[in-house]
Amino acid sequence: MIPQSFIDSLLARIDIVDVIGQSVPLKKAGVNFMARCPFHQEKTPSFSVNPQRQFYHCFGCGASGNAISFIIQHHGSGFVEAVQMLAEQAGMSVPQDSGAGPATPSGHDAHRPLLEALERVGKFFVKERLRHPRAQAYLAQRGIREDTAESFGLGYAPPGWHNLETALPDIPTAILHDSGMLVSQEAGRHHDRFRDRLMFPIHDRRGRIIGFGGRVLDQGEPKYLNSPETPLFEKGQELYGWPQARQALRQQHEILVVEGYMDVISLSQAGIAETVATLGTAITEHQIKLLFRSAERIVFAFDGDKAGRKAADRAMERVLPLLEEGKQVAFLFFPEGEDPDSFVRQHGADAFRAQMVGATPLSTHVLDHLTAGLTRHQPESQGQFLHRARPLLASLRAPWLAFALKKRMAQWLDVDNEQLEQFLGNLPTEHRPSPKPPNAPLRSRQPPPSLARQLLACLLAQPELAHEAGVPQEDRFATGDDERAVQRIAEHLRHEDVVPPLAALIEHFRHHPDEALLTSVLQREFIALAETPREELVAVYRDGLLRWAQQACQREIQQLSQQGDVEGLRQLLALRKSLDLQLKTRNQGNDSV
């Protein structure tokens, strides 16, 4: 059994827009993304994805749910398989619940203090940038406009050893340390990790700050310093500039991968926003998979020196096993002393895009790598060529590219294809299971609206109402399953110390007796309330609580009438009169609701 805490952490880490965007072409529409529904045939888009609530809904067929639900419904996967698929994309290992040991906080609860601390640290750095002339002068020298600096959240860590603890005294030192902002010293002392550096906040795929990169303004080493790895931040899992690039990828079909933060920022300012950077390490398998899910063509940009060529070869080796038909990869090299930042500032965006169009294709780079330093027709060089070629060809999973490369290899060796195959020998191959066909859910008959469903819809839209306004009172004589289910869900929300995201709430009640009602309300009443202003929704919820209490009181009156309890009846009649008056007063004050 997969622990609930892991599922909560998984849902907090992934972005439903990325998950669904792999299979469905989404287009931005206000705060949501829209598409034609993948579960039924339609001519106009009615499939909506809400990134804030991490929830999707089709207004045509009624399909709805979170990222796990989508994988189950769209791919025909089982629950465990869906979780494993998403965990692989997020770079997480799925644990198994042994059923022993104390309960641990759920993922979104455990990470919330770190996320909130980093958000406040980011705001502190931004304020420091705006009031320090050195930081502003450096950005001006690099040609970075204020609106660009603001959109990337650029900041400045001032000189000094204890700025964060002084500026943010209410954040526990342990939280600042665990978020990577403080460095431990002897005797339990700490100091700021970043000092006198331009600060680049690093965001996850949901746009939340999970770490920072810092650059010295003058001379100094290291030139760039990144946050250490933390429960939130793993260098090999994230890409700098991803939130900005993802928006551009809705219109573009290619993405540019560079090596520096300033490259990303300068290119984005010039209008080439589909740009990301690795985080001080070589490109990883996880990052490449993320890029391939989002774009049809990846262009890697490197310096043209020896180090840049070596980095390109590492990227080539990582890409080849992951490349599929229909995807393209190219390499763009700059003269020594020049980089994407300097090139776009000197020559402009059009010239840079022309460079991207003419970038070296992957197949050409493979041949350049195989022949580097070799002399054609020399037997020793030909042997070295075959030695280099075998592992690369063995890793390839794109049949046509493998065929085309072998053809060009045979030409270089001056042999025919059959002879090349003999020289290469038997190469290992892998067989991937074919994807399962989509499995569209059947539409279920919708139950009629009820007070219980309306109250639950309000709680799903604004879960904090369980704390702010209370929950439906226990009704001993309620006869409907809906009423008891709403009481249980509301009590769950009230006892949560931190309000859970909607996606996590859906998972908590998966395979629970109350799941059917929750799903039904999400597909109907919740959608009807989704765009309701908060103050109006609060009024609806508070009125509903009064009407719920009225109904409960009336059932109690009927029960006591049968028992002949005169004193009890007198008290209940007085209560009902009070409730009637309260509801009448609220209705008079909220005629517009």
Per-residue pLDDT for 144 more than 70?
A: yes
Confidence band, pLDDT 50/70/90 cuts, at residue 437:
very low
Transcribe 351-409 into DSSP letters: HHHHHHHTPEEHHHHHHHHHHTT--TT-HHHHHHHHHHHHHHHHH---HHHHHHHHHHH
| Mean of pLDDT values over 82-99 | 77
Q: Give every CB contact of residue 217 below 8 A, 6+ residues apart in sequence.
A: 134, 135, 138, 196, 197, 198
Question: Between residues 277 and 471, which one has the greater pLDDT?
Answer: 277
Look at domain 451-589 and name its CATH class: mainly alpha
Transcribe 182-228 into DSSP letters: EEE-GGG-EEES--SEEEEEEE-TTS-EEEEEEEESSS-SSSEEEPP
| Mean of pLDDT values over 415-431 | 73
The full 3-state SS of 141-184, as one line of letters, equals HCCCCHHHHHHCCCEEECCCCCHHHHHCCCCCHHHHHHCCCEEE
| Mean of pLDDT values over 540-550 | 82
Q: What is the pLDDT of residues 116-126, one digit of tens each?
A: 999 999 999 99
The rounded distance, in Å, linking the Cα atoms of 545 and 469 is 9
φ, ψ at 509 (rounded to 5°): -100, 10
| Mean of pLDDT values over 253-269 | 95
C-alpha distances out from residue 433 to 246, 294, 483, Å: 29, 22, 46
C-alpha distances out from residue 124 to 153, 168, 255, 432, Å: 11, 9, 32, 49
pLDDT at 254: 92
pLDDT at 544: 82
Sheet with 254-258: list strands edge to edge.
275-277, 254-258, 297-303, 328-334, 360-361
Domain spans of the chain, in order of start: 4-90, 107-233, 237-367, 373-424, 451-589
pLDDT at 119: 96
Confidence band, pLDDT 50/70/90 cuts, at residue 372:
very high
pLDDT at 558: 76
Question: Between residues 529 and 396, which one has the greater pLDDT?
Answer: 396
Sheet with 224-226: list strands edge to edge.
155-157, 197-203, 209-216, 224-226
Domains 107-233 and 451-589 share a fold: no
| Mean of pLDDT values over 41-69 | 84
Confidence band, pLDDT 50/70/90 cuts, at residue 150:
very high
Beta bridge partners of 278: none
pLDDT at 3: 82
pLDDT at 179: 95
The rounded distance, in Å, linking the Cα atoms of 386 and 423 is 8
pLDDT at 451: 83
Q: Domain 107-233 classified CATH 3.90.980.10?
A: yes
**Reduced DSSP (H G I as helix, E B as strand, rest coil) percent helix, strand, coil of the chain, to 5:** 50, 10, 35
Question: Between residues 40 and 333, which one has the greater pLDDT?
Answer: 333
| Mean of pLDDT values over 323-338 | 89
Per-residue pLDDT for 274 more than 80?
A: yes
| Mean of pLDDT values over 228-238 | 88
What are the tokens at 142? 């690099």
Percent of the chain with pLDDT over 70: 88
Question: Cα torsion for 408, 409, 412, 418, to the nearest 10°?
Answer: -100
* Amino acid type, 541: Y
- Domain 237-367 architecture: 3-Layer(aba) Sandwich (3.40)
Per-residue pLDDT for 102 more than 70?
A: no
C-alpha distances out from residue 49 to 14, 31, 84, 323, Å: 14, 9, 22, 28
pLDDT at 346: 94
| Most confident of the ranges 89-98, 290-299, 427-436 | 290-299
Contact criterion met (CB below 8 Å) for 38 and 74: yes
Confidence band, pLDDT 50/70/90 cuts, at residue 565:
low
Task: Report which of 109, 80, 111, 81 is spatially closest to residue 97, judged by C-alpha positions.
Answer: 80
pLDDT at 228: 92
What are the tokens at 215? 């650059």
pLDDT at 100: 42
Per-residue pLDDT for 430 more than 50?
A: no
Stretch among 104-113, 246-255, 284-293, 496-505 having the lowest mean pLDDT: 104-113
Stretch among 45-54, 272-281, 384-393 having the lowest mean pLDDT: 45-54
pLDDT at 209: 95
Percent of the chain with pLDDT over 90: 35
Question: Between residues 577 and 139, which one has the greater pLDDT?
Answer: 139
- Domain 4-90 architecture: Alpha-Beta Complex (3.90)
Per-residue pLDDT for 25 more than 90?
A: no
Question: Between residues 585 and 519, which one has the greater pLDDT?
Answer: 519
pLDDT at 541: 83
pLDDT at 5: 78
Stretch among 43-47, 136-140, 210-214 having the lowest mean pLDDT: 43-47
pLDDT at 96: 64
The rounded distance, in Å, linking the Cα atoms of 155 and 118 is 13
Interaxial angle between packed helices 379-395 and 399-413, expressed in degrees from 0 to 180 and rounded to the nearest 10: 180
Q: What is the pLDDT of residues 459-506, one digit of tens each?
A: 888 888 888 888 887 766 666 678 888 888 888 888 776 667 777 888
Per-residue pLDDT for 105 more than 60?
A: no
| Mean of pLDDT values over 277-304 | 88
Instruction: Note if the pTM is more than 0.85.
Output: no
Rounded to the nearest angstrom, the gap between the alpha carbon of residue 108 and the centroid of all alpha carbons in its chain is 13
CA-CA-CA-CA torsion sign (392, 398, 404, 406): positive
The rounded distance, in Å, linking the Cα atoms of 329 and 389 is 19
| Mean of pLDDT values over 553-562 | 76
The rounded distance, in Å, linking the Cα atoms of 341 and 50 is 35
Q: How many CB atoms lie within 10 A of CB 523?
A: 20
| Mean of pLDDT values over 137-154 | 96
Stretch among 245-254, 270-279, 529-538 having the lowest mean pLDDT: 529-538
The rounded distance, in Å, linking the Cα atoms of 546 and 369 is 75
What number of CA atoms fall less than 13 Å from residue 558's CA on the CB side? Answer: 9
| Mean of pLDDT values over 22-46 | 83
Confidence band, pLDDT 50/70/90 cuts, at residue 97:
low
Stretch among 99-103, 307-311, 497-501, 521-525 having the lowest mean pLDDT: 99-103
Per-residue pLDDT for 443 more than 60?
A: no
